[in-house]
């Protein structure tokens, strides 16, 4: 993102832009320990699967710097609760657990405490850099699927804010524009927390990409009218069979796209694929506070005492997914075989 970093490592703290305040205010937070990082992830100040992974890696490295330990064994014992605190922040985005696994591996394979502390900072920086490179590569591959003049529907926010990098779904759209294609975007507002209205529209306006904001319930109307040429979304976790967990409402978009003969693409780095899960049925779905549904931006819209449900993600069965765009290549059915090949 032009002008500032989504996550900035400052040695003794991490600086982030508070995404809950966007688009009205650009507020920056400085996080000084793993509890503050986990809390910022829980509250969605930092959000989006790859961004959560990068933040967790920096949070891990940051907390590790403060450990006073007499030996490597003592250091590793003190690291465990730090890792657990970060891991407990949100359950669905697999990038969080993937990043923590990488950090733990580095910690265990290090020689001594001071060497490990330095190696953890390097590893977090690597995770951030590799993520941006993966974003750019998958965006190039994805842009090949976008024709000049396309109007693209997207859901939630899968741009720089969600990745601390170039972006995934929005990365593909940005790349298509950089290649000289004229593209337009329809952005779903994405109830209940409005990541589409607040963040996607904000990012696309900054990129000078024409964007029309619609409510989630208008998507079928525009698809049926022939306005939308393809749908592109990001992902929080993809099972080995190609089932995709993403922001609640994604499944609805996929079914509507299929019904209307519109390609439905998922853009995500390989770190979002969870090969340990054979299907999406095993993906843990975060349940958030029902107040996020009964209220909009703190203002109550439902009567007091109203019961509300708030699953934050849904799973789109792979039969509705036209292609999964990764930095290693574009996978199509049969996903089990194709994604295994990409992972080699």
Which residues carry out catalysis? 236
Site string for ligand MRU, 245-264 (x = CB under 6 A): -xx-----------------
CB of 183 to ligand MRU, least distance (A): 18
Q: Is 322 in the site for ligand MRU (CB under 6 A)?
A: no
Q: Is 163 in the site for ligand MRU (CB under 6 A)?
A: yes
Q: Is 195 in the site for ligand MRU (CB under 6 A)?
A: yes
Binding piece for ligand MRU, criterion CB under 6 A, among 143-151, 158-166, 318-326, 336-344: 158-166
Answer for the pair 159, 234: CB distance below 8 angstroms, yes or no.
Answer: no
CB of 301 to ligand MRU, least distance (A): 20
Answer for the pair 201, 212: CB distance below 8 angstroms, yes or no.
Answer: no
Site string for ligand MRU, 228-247 (x = CB under 6 A): -----xxxx---------xx
Q: Is 31 in the site for ligand MRU (CB under 6 A)?
A: no
CB of 49 to ligand MRU, least distance (A): 4
Task: Count the neighbouring beta carbons within 10 Å of the beta carbon of residue 106.
Answer: 20
Residue 41's nearest CA partner among 27, 26, 58 is: 58
Which residue of 54, 134, 158, 339 would you call a contact of ligand MRU, by CB under 6 A? Answer: 158
CB of 68 to ligand MRU, least distance (A): 34
Q: Is 162 in the site for ligand MRU (CB under 6 A)?
A: yes
CB of 251 to ligand MRU, least distance (A): 12
Q: Is 50 in the site for ligand MRU (CB under 6 A)?
A: yes
Q: Which is nearer to ligand MRU, 50 or 242 (CB)?
A: 50
Binding piece for ligand MRU, criterion CB under 6 A, among 54-62, 72-80, 143-151, 155-163: 155-163
Pairwise CA distance, residues 309 & 292, whole Å: 9
Q: Is 49 in the site for ligand MRU (CB under 6 A)?
A: yes
Q: Which is nearer to ligand MRU, 234 or 242 (CB)?
A: 234
Q: Which is nearer to ligand MRU, 94 or 113 (CB)?
A: 94
CB of 135 to ligand MRU, least distance (A): 8
**Which residue is at the shortest CB distance from ligand MRU?**
234
Q: Which is nearer to ligand MRU, 106 or 190 (CB)?
A: 190
Binding piece for ligand MRU, criterion CB under 6 A, among 47-55, 139-147, 301-309, 332-340: 47-55
C-alpha dihedral, 273 to 277 to 280 to 285, nearest 10°: -90
Q: Which residues bind ligand MRU (CB under 6 A)?
A: 44, 47-50, 93, 156, 158, 162-163, 168, 195, 233-236, 246-247, 312
């Amino acid at each position: 993102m032009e002008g500032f970093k989504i996550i900035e490592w400052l040695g003794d703290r991490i600086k982030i832009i508070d995404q809950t305040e966007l688009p009205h205010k650009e507020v920056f937070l400085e996080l000084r320990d793993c509890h503050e990082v986990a809390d910022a992830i829980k509250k969605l100040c930092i959000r989006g699967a790859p961004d959560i992974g990068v933040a967790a890696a920096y949070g891990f490295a940051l907390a590790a710097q403060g450990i006073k330990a007499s030996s490597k064994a003592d250091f590793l014992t003190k690291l465990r609760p730090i890792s657990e605190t970060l891991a407990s922040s949100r359950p669905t985005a697999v990038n969080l657990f993937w990043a923590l696994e990488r950090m733990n591996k580095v910690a265990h394979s290090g020689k001594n405490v001071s060497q490990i502390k330095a190696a953890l900072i390097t590893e977090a920086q690597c995770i951030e850099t590799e993520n941006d490179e993966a974003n750019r590569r998958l965006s190039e591959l994805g842009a090949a699927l976008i024709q000049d003049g396309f109007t693209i529907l997207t859901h939630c926010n899968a741009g720089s804010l969600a990745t601390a990098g170039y972006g995934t779904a929005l990365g593909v759209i940005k790349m298509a524009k950089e290649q000289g294609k004229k593209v337009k975007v329809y952005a779903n507002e994405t109830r209940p927390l409005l990541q589409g209205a607040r963040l996607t529209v904000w990012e696309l306006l900054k990129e000078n990409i024409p964007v029309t904001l619609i409510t989630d319930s208008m998507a079928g109307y525009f698809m049926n009218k022939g306005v939308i040429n393809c749908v592109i979304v990001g992902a929080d976790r993809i099972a080995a069979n190609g089932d995709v967990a993403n922001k609640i409402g994604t499944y609805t978009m996929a079914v509507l796209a299929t019904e209307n003969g519109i390609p439905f693409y998922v853009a995500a780095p390989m770190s979002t694929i969870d090969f340990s899960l054979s299907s999406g049925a095993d993906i843990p779905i975060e349940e958030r506070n029902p107040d996020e549904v009964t209220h909009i931006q703190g203002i109550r819209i439902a009567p007091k005492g109203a019961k509300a449900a708030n699953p934050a993600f849904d799973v789109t069965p792979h039969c509705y997914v036209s292609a999964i765009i990764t930095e290693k290549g574009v996978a199509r059915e049969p996903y089990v075989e194709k994604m295994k090949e990409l992972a080699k």
